[in-house]
Structure 1
Amino acid sequence: MASIAPSPVALSDAAGGQPLLHRQLFDATTGTYTYLIADVASGEGVIIDPVFEQHERDLSLIRELGIQLVASLDTHAHADHVTGSWLMHQATGCAIGLAQSARAQNVSLPLEHGDHVNFGSRHLQVRSTPGHTDGCVTYVLDDQSAAFTGDALLVRGCGRCDFQQGDPHTLWRSITEQIFSLPNSCLLYPGHDYTGRTLTSVAEEKAFNARLGGGANERDFVGHMTNMKLPHPGKIAIALPGNMRSGQPRDEQPAQHWAPVQRSFAGLPELPPSWLAEHRNAVTVLDVRSEDEVEGPDGRIETSLHIPLQDLEQRQAELPSDRPLVVVCHAGSRSALATQQLLKAGFDRVANLRGGLLRWSDEGYPLVGSIHH
């Protein structure tokens, strides 16, 4: 069984007997929250409501933390963005989970009320919470300390009910019977927010939600929801058909890339030493260390081009334009900065050597002039 990579970021959640990793990610264009949850002991995890355009970011985090993704889950068939579930399935082999009532294509994990989605020793319970759409579900963590409500319940608000099988009476029952029945301390993580509010709780929404909290009854709620007169979602014509395919693009032809570049969670294009070792003659290896380092005991990759980082901006004309660039330094830090500079300068076939010459050497690849064995 895979385990989460031993990094401070990953293991901080394991301290104090808390074996759950939880990350909240944000898409600013659509105001969508994506959640990554993993059982630290086993390394298994799930992602909730991924966004198509954020796939590389999300996949980079999953790979950096060493998470074995069990499922990509959506809370409903969205009208404002296309899900990244199909892309995540293609990249990791994970299941695609969505309410069975949504009747979308490519769903390998059709969900119904009461189902459990297991990851390691933990699980999410599926609660059907229709009203925004027929296929809305809320995912409740096994100890009821947290729930992921999608658009059924937002921070001080809720999903609209005026299209896509929406019904305010149904949504009232979903929220009051399925979400407000959770412990008052249960943290609620919404599918969207447009003002920077990241989470709430059952107790807070019971007290302060302007639509159904503070003693409001069903009549109050329905009156509010039926008089909102909201504009139609701008991306609905693209989002709904895309989500009925679970995010599978109509054009499935893969993009052509010069190498299997992976982006780090920081957004940096990277390649592993194994790929560079096999394709070294097809690229230019750019070493951005100082002259003393290149000629020193650490050694260098044979045939690499040496331009110190501080001179790179003035000497870019020396870089060949007909070959991709793989940038290296001692541990990958200075070469990361150099890679960013080259990308900004218009070099589109450039990547950082992941882990630098340290990782190159640790994996057994040769360095000319090295005194290390």
Structure 2
Amino acid sequence: MIFRQLFEPETSTYSYLLGCERSRRAVLIDPVASEVDGYIQLLQALNLKLIYTLETHVHADHITGAGLLRNTLGSKSIVHRDAGAMCADLLVTDGVLLQVGELEFAVLHTPGHTAGCVSYAMADRVFTGDALLIGGSGRTDFQQGDAGQLYDSITGKLFILPPDTLVYPGHDYQGNTVSTIKQEMVKNARLGGGKSRDEFIATMQDLKLAYPKFIDQALPANQSCGLAAE
């Protein structure tokens, strides 16, 4: 497997390129519009054909590159059916299996940060978007957020994965790149160490976070796959 973890510094967003060495087919998880030229150069350098862009949710902090990549490379955009992005080529639900060459991804519906959040699980790793972060979690105070639902998603869908499963989040603001399910179950400040659902909800209610800087531009753009609405 070919694997690259890519970082967009303005919004501290991680995107992920995964390619099948045999078929040379690839996917990009959570591509950022401003980075599209770099993705295309990387795909060319690695001799990979982009088949899918996989969105973990409709983002409020950056504009997706899915539409630009579809127009340029012919890739297909994938989001959850509840994400609010009917522009996508494939609307998935919980339990769907996506096959790209020898790569297989299981779609796990992990709502709570937004209604349409998903994580993409492979045999040894999971891409958790803004649901489970390293040492934390996504916020739940806008965009159909629900703290109790997020707790249920993380504990019921992610914390049941094998303990040594690698956790690759959608963001990190401290320079962390990867964790494990075991580490998050033990050390996660918001819900590790056996914290209860009520404790998590209380923690999230007390955060008092600032209004998302780019939400007014990002949400409508991402509901059109990153392209201006026709």
Match of 2:157 among 164, 170, 178: 178
Structure 1 window deviating more from structure 2 (110-119 vs 98-107): it is: 98-107
Q: Secondary structure at the match of 1:131?
A: coil
Match of 2:11 among 19, 22, 30: 30
**Alpha-carbon offset, residue 63 of structure 1:** 1.3
Hey, what does 1:115 align to over in structure 2?
Answer: 96
Hey, what does 1:54 align to over in structure 2?
Answer: 35
**Alpha-carbon offset, residue 92 of structure 1:** 1.1
Hey, what does 2:56 align to over in structure 1?
Answer: 75
Hey, what does 2:131 align to over in structure 1?
Answer: 152
Hey, what does 1:217 align to over in structure 2?
Answer: 196
Give distance in 2, aligned partners of 1:232 and 1:106.
26
Hey, what does 1:95 align to over in structure 2?
Answer: 76
**Alpha-carbon offset, residue 215 of structure 1:** 2.1
Hey, what does 1:227 align to over in structure 2?
Answer: 206
**Alpha-carbon offset, residue 247 of structure 1:** 0.5
Give distance in 2, aligned partners of 1:180 and 1:89.
34
Q: Secondary structure at the match of 1:101?
A: coil
**Counterpart residue type for residue 91 of structure 2:** P
Residues 252-275 of structure 1 show CA distances to partners (whole Å, capped at 9, x for unaligned) of xxxxxxxxxxxxxxxxxxxxxxxx
User: Percent of aligned positions with the same letter in both sequences?
Assistant: 41
Give the number of the structure whose residues are more often strand, by fraction. Answer: 2
Give distance in 1, aligned partners of 2:56 and 2:194.
27
**Alpha-carbon offset, residue 105 of structure 1:** 3.3
Give distance in 2, aligned partners of 1:122 and 1:29.
30
**Alpha-carbon offset, residue 250 of structure 1:** 4.7
Hey, what does 1:64 align to over in structure 2?
Answer: 45
2:224 maps to 1:245: yes
**Counterpart residue type for residue 173 of structure 2:** Y
Give distance in 1, aligned partners of 2:71 and 2:46.
19
Q: Secondary structure at the match of 2:142?
A: coil
Give distance in 1, aligned partners of 2:103 and 2:53.
16
Hey, what does 1:194 align to over in structure 2?
Answer: 173
Report the count of equivalent residues. Answer: 230
| Structure 1, gaps ≥5 residues long | 1-19, 252-373
**Counterpart residue type for residue 15 of structure 2:** T
Q: Secondary structure at the match of 1:53?
A: helix
**Alpha-carbon offset, residue 104 of structure 1:** 1.0
**Counterpart residue type for residue 226 of structure 1:** Q
Give distance in 1, aligned partners of 2:228 and 2:17.
23
Q: Secondary structure at the match of 1:102?
A: coil
2:89 maps to 1:125: no
Q: Secondary structure at the match of 1:79?
A: coil
**Counterpart residue type for residue 44 of structure 2:** R
* Contact 2:19/2:26, CA 8 A, preserved across alignment: yes
Match of 1:207 among 186, 193, 197: 186
Hey, what does 1:310 align to over in structure 2?
Answer: none
CA RMSD between the two structures: 1.0
Structure 1 ranges of 4+ moved more than 6 A: none
**Counterpart residue type for residue 69 of structure 2:** M
Structure possessing the higher relative contact order (Cα contacts under 8 Å, 6 or more residues apart): 2
Give distance in 2, aligned partners of 1:63 and 1:226.
46
Give distance in 2, aligned partners of 1:106 and 1:68.
22
Give distance in 2, aligned partners of 1:39 and 1:239.
31
Give distance in 2, aligned partners of 1:121 and 1:199.
23
**Alpha-carbon offset, residue 187 of structure 1:** 0.2
2:20 maps to 1:39: yes
* Contact 2:58/2:84, CA 8 A, preserved across alignment: no
**Counterpart residue type for residue 93 of structure 1:** G
